[in-house]
Amino acid sequence: MDDDDNIIVTDDDNIDDESAELEDTDVDTDGDDDETLDDEPTLTFKIENGRIRDKVDEKQAMVQAVNKILQTERLVYPIYSDQYGNDLNDIIGKDMGYAKVEAERMIKEALLADDRVVEVDIDAVNEVSRDTLEIKGTCVTVYGNINIDSEVSVDDTR
């Protein structure tokens, strides 16, 4: 395998000097400074059994992103922004009624922080044991719907 096989080329790498100058002079006529989804790559690595196996894009990449957001505690890992991840650890040790309501809100908030997520519909938050909640729903993304099936422990004896 050549070293060139490991190079990832993005759209920015293929811009010639003339088009780069034109991009710098573009005027934002609608007052919206946000990038469009076309400008945001979704290409990521396909992980199987903890190993990188291939690359995936669009919906498969979003499935991975949703799962990662639901598994990552917010404000713990310095490589992520303060908007990435969830706050589900905050409901550990809380009353089950409170935990049900907050778990739904926290999952919606965590997923909606990703610009590719359009809507989050939580269908059910069920108590499966005295200290575990099961959350089922759908994450609507620009690439399609992704099922949410997650468990949250509220046990404070860990």
In order of their start, the domains of the chain are 36-153 (3.10.450.40)
Is residue 103 within 8 Å of residue 135, measured between CB atoms?
yes
pLDDT at 54 (0 to 100) = 72
Is residue 59 within 8 Å of residue 67, measured between CB atoms?
no
Helix H or strand E encompassing 102 = helix 96-112
| pLDDT, tens digit, 9 for 90 and up, residues 7-58 | 443 444 444 444 444 444 444 445 554 444 455 556 777 777 887 787 778 8
pLDDT at 23 (0 to 100) = 42
Is residue 104 within 8 Å of residue 125, measured between CB atoms?
yes
